[in-house]
Amino acid sequence: MKFWKKSLLVQLVGSFLLLSLVIVALVGSVAFYQAKASLKQSVFDRLSSAASLKEQELNRWARDQSLTVLSLAQLPEIRSQAEALLSNSDRESNQSFLQDSLTAFIKHQTGLKEIFILSRSGRVLASNNSTQIGLYKPLVQYSLVTPDSTEGFISNFYRSPETGQPEITFAIPLLNAENKQQGILAAHLNLDRIDQIIRQNTGLGSTGETYLVGNVGSSLSSRYVFLSTQKSNLKEFSEGIESWSIQKAMQGKSGRGFYLNYRGTPVIGVYYALPGQDLALIAEQTQVEAFAPARKLATSILISGLFLSSLMAVGMLILGRQIVKPIKAIAQTARLVSKGDLNQTAPVLSNNEIGVLAGTFNQMIKQLRLSYQQLADYSHTLEENVEQRTQEIRHKNQDLEATLKELKKAQTKLVQQEKMASLGQLVAGIAHEINNPVNFIYGNVEPAYEYAQDLLNLIRLYQQNYPQPSQEIIDEIEEIDLAFIQEDFVQLLNSMKDGSERIKDIVLSLRNFSRLDESEQKQVDIHQGIESTLRILQSRLKSQSEGSEIKVIKQYGKLPLVNCYPGQLNQVYMNLISNAIDALEPDDQVNNPEINICTTVINDHIEIRIADNGSGIKPEILEQIFDPFFTTKPVGKGTGLGLSISYQIIVEKHKGQLLCHSKRGKGTEFRIKLPI
């Protein structure tokens, strides 16, 4: 292939030779297929003629044998002795006579192999073969012969139970004087004559073959075997054969075509479905032999074409050398110039187009020599400038990538710090403002309770010592419902006390959540931070007009104190529980919204699981939920920093893990793992 690409002479001669070979091959192929088309009909005609002649001869032979058996059955002595034998009168004498008569008759009939008389149950009563007397025969497989059934070839072949070979048996009913069947006269045909008919020279060459195929299988399965063929003694086909033509013929069709025979050899053949039951006559010749004349013609054309192409290639070689010689001189000069020798010139050997090409090439060398000198000067300066600018750009790109990473990291931290600072200040201010009046109320509730008890006791004393008050006092007592006041006033003070205690707990939760006074790590109770977060979010958990109340199920384990940043962990609880509430609030498909909070100790770390029973997170979104500024909430409702900040707090600040598991329609679960 390299030599082909490098040599112009080889390309010219080779291209011409290749083109001529393609033309010769095309002509040879056309001639082959035209000859093949002409031969195809001729071969089909020969095969059809051979098969038709053999079919006619087989029909004549079968008709002759059926007539022979009929004539035997109509002999008076045979009929009388058979009738006596079947009527059980002097059986031994009749049986002996019939055996002698049948033996004498069959000696002169080469088409019959065995003649015997059967009872209606199929038992052999007389036969030229004494070993068969007393045996039972399969009557259902015999071919019934009557004077009206001798026109066609009777084809009820079956497999002999004694020899295992295909067999055909003609059977004629034996009737008494009352025209009732007493028994059967049957004869096994000698199939050697069928084999002789098939073996006759077909005139189809060395590979021509005709054979008779029959179905000797059961009613549940087909089994096609040779009944007669030139090669019927082949043992490898003793158990059955199969081909496309056999299938077609056994379906009752006749035709011709190209196909694979029972040996798997490509053949051209014709097939006939003979009258009767599952019988086919097939004539075939291999395609190789059938189309040998066409191949011989194509081969002759190819050989002649190759010889002529070779002669023309030699002439083209001589002419090509004259054309290629000046071109090679120019090519040699071009190779030297390409290596840097710009002082070379191409020889001008003729005045034709190639000579003009050589002169033009020499002018180009001169111009190239001048341009090369100028280019060398420019190239040196350009290389220095390019290298310098490349180094500068590389350094700037590295600095820009580092700056961008730091900027993203700083932006996230800044948002986190500002959010925590604002939230802490807000919560601390609210807690401080509420704490003072609440302490005042809570501190005065107890004295007020005591004063109320004293006043009520005093009223009871007045009622005991002055049981008959004036009418004005009685009217006032009824007006103010003194009995109700005495009963409800103490309960009112108790409710005020409970309310003030509730407000104190909320204020304490706000202070615990903000943790403004705890900037360092310390050991805290994890459950206390979770409870503080739930108190703050209590209003969102309660039932709203558009939805059901969100139920919080807490399964707290026994946890040790954990060394952590309490304020930052409270922020994580707030983000995760708020997201769970956001997922459950708009979900109309959840009838009983729940948030499950479970804590447990696993080996050397604690695990906090916060799960909801909402609709879950889509798989394509699940991989991005911890990315900064990524959110699926509407504009103005989410910043996309909650889960990103929570991830940094757990992983970077506390060296733990924050994992998310979600399944569509089942809900979402976040797992926090913190080292103890």
Q: How many residues does the chain have?
A: 676
Give all strands of the β-sheet with 143-144 in edge-to-edge order. 124-127, 112-119, 181-189, 169-175, 143-144
pLDDT on residue 351: 66
The helix (H) or strand (E) run that includes residue 552 is strand 551-555
Which range scores top for mean pLDDT: 31-45, 98-112, 257-271, 614-628? 257-271
Q: Look at residue 256 and give its three-state secondary structure.
A: strand
Round to whole Å and give the CA distance between 531 and 525.
Answer: 10
- Phi and psi at residue 144, to the nearest 5°: -80, 130
Look at residue 233 and tell me whether its pLDDT is greater than 50. no
* pLDDT band at 415; cut points 50, 70, 90: low
Round to whole Å and give the CA distance between 598 and 669.
Answer: 11
pLDDT on residue 208: 79
- Phi and psi at residue 566, to the nearest 5°: -60, -45
In a domain, 75, yes or no: yes
Contact call for residues 615 and 587 (beta carbons, < 8 A): yes
Q: For the chain, what percent of residues have pLDDT higher than 90?
A: 6
Round to whole Å and give the CA distance between 550 and 579.
Answer: 13
* pLDDT band at 555; cut points 50, 70, 90: very high
Tokens of 121: 């149950």
* pLDDT band at 360; cut points 50, 70, 90: confident
Strand partners of residue 127? 116
Which range scores top for mean pLDDT: 14-28, 180-194, 218-232, 646-660? 646-660
DSSP-assigned letters across all residues of 17-68:
HHHHHHHHHHHHHHHHHHHHHHHHHHHHHHHHHHHHHHHHHHHHHHHHHHHH
The CATH number of the domain where 85 resides is what? Answer: 3.30.450.20
Give Rg (Cα) of the chain: 58
- DSSP secondary structure code for residue 549 in this structure: P
In a domain, 33, yes or no: yes
Q: What's the predicted TM-score (pTM) here?
A: 0.40
Query: pLDDT, tens digit, for every residue of 499-542?
Result: 676 676 666 656 655 554 455 688 888 898 898 888 878 877 87
In a domain, 297, yes or no: no
Round to whole Å and give the CA distance between 132 and 115.
Answer: 10
Q: Where are the beta strands (DSSP E) in 417-542?
A: 522-524
Mean confidence (pLDDT) of the chain: 76
- Phi and psi at residue 30, to the nearest 5°: -60, -45
Look at residue 479 and tell me whether its pLDDT is greater than 60. yes
* pLDDT band at 570; cut points 50, 70, 90: confident
Tokens of 353: 């187009």
Q: Look at residue 269 and give its three-state secondary structure.
A: strand
Q: Is the CA virtual torsion 304, 306, 308, 311 positive or negative?
A: negative
Tokens of 429: 């201010």
Look at residue 672 and tell me whether its pLDDT is greater than 90. yes
Query: Taking residues 536-554, what's their average pLDDT?
Result: 77
Apex 228 CA angle, 222 and 231, nearest 5: 105
In a domain, 425, yes or no: no
Q: Where are the beta strands (DSSP E) in 380-436?
A: none
pLDDT on residue 501: 66
Nearest CA-CA partner of 202 in 48, 62, 59: 48
Distances (CA, A) of 325 to 60, 235, 253, 337, 365: 84, 71, 72, 19, 21
More confident residue, 270 or 138: 270
Contact call for residues 87 and 181 (beta carbons, < 8 A): no
Look at residue 496 and tell me whether its pLDDT is greater than 80. no
Q: How many domains does the chain have?
A: 2
In a domain, 383, yes or no: no
For 669, the domain range is 521-675
* pLDDT band at 438; cut points 50, 70, 90: confident
More confident residue, 515 or 467: 467
Tokens of 445: 């509730």
Query: Taking residues 308-319, what's their average pLDDT?
Result: 72
Contact call for residues 536 and 574 (beta carbons, < 8 A): yes
Round to whole Å and give the CA distance between 547 and 550.
Answer: 9
Contact call for residues 594 and 550 (beta carbons, < 8 A): yes
Query: Taking residues 86-104, what's their average pLDDT?
Result: 77
Query: pLDDT, tens digit, for every residue of 272-285?
Result: 887 666 778 888 88
Report the DSSP pairing between strands 657-663 and 667-675: antiparallel
pLDDT on residue 606: 93
pLDDT on residue 598: 95
**Of 260, 289, 318, which marks where a domain is finished?**
289
In a domain, 553, yes or no: yes
pLDDT on residue 670: 93
Number of Cβ within 10 Å of residue 605's Cβ equals 15
Tokens of 534: 């739930």
Query: Taking residues 613-632, what's their average pLDDT?
Result: 80
Look at residue 3 and tell me whether its pLDDT is greater than 60. no
| Three-class SS of 88-116 | CCCHHHHHHHHHHHHHHHHCCCCCEEEEE
Write the CB contacts of 158 (distance below 8 Å, at least 6 apart in sequence): 138, 141, 166, 167, 168, 169, 216
pLDDT on residue 557: 92
Query: Taking residues 39-57, what's their average pLDDT?
Result: 78
pLDDT on residue 610: 93
In a domain, 392, yes or no: no
The CATH number of the domain where 602 resides is what? Answer: 3.30.565.10
CA 144 to chain centre: 58
Contact call for residues 514 and 429 (beta carbons, < 8 A): no
**Of 267, 289, 311, which marks where a domain is finished?**
289
Query: Taking residues 38-45, what's their average pLDDT?
Result: 77
pLDDT on residue 605: 92
Tokens of 41: 């009909």
Look at residue 151 and tell me whether its pLDDT is greater than 60. no
Look at residue 558 and tell me whether its pLDDT is greater than 80. yes
Contact call for residues 191 and 168 (beta carbons, < 8 A): yes
Round to whole Å and give the CA distance between 170 and 161.
Answer: 16
pLDDT on residue 228: 61
Which residue bears the tokens 């911890």? 626
In a domain, 430, yes or no: no
**Of 289, 318, 342, which marks where a domain is finished?**
289
Give the lowest-confidence range in 312-316, 397-401, 411-415, 613-617: 411-415
Q: Is the CA virtual torsion 653, 656, 657, 658 positive or negative?
A: negative
Query: Taking residues 537-548, what's their average pLDDT?
Result: 71
pLDDT on residue 657: 92
Round to whole Å and give the CA distance between 432 and 237.
Answer: 108
Query: pLDDT, tens digit, for every residue of 625-646?
Result: 877 777 777 655 666 677 887 8
More confident residue, 136 or 92: 136
DSSP-assigned letters across all residues of 143-204:
EE--TTS-SS-----EE-TTT-SEE-EEEEEEE-TTS-EEEEEEEEE-THHHHHHHHS--SS
Query: Taking residues 91-111, what's their average pLDDT?
Result: 80
Round to whole Å and give the CA distance between 630 and 640.
Answer: 5
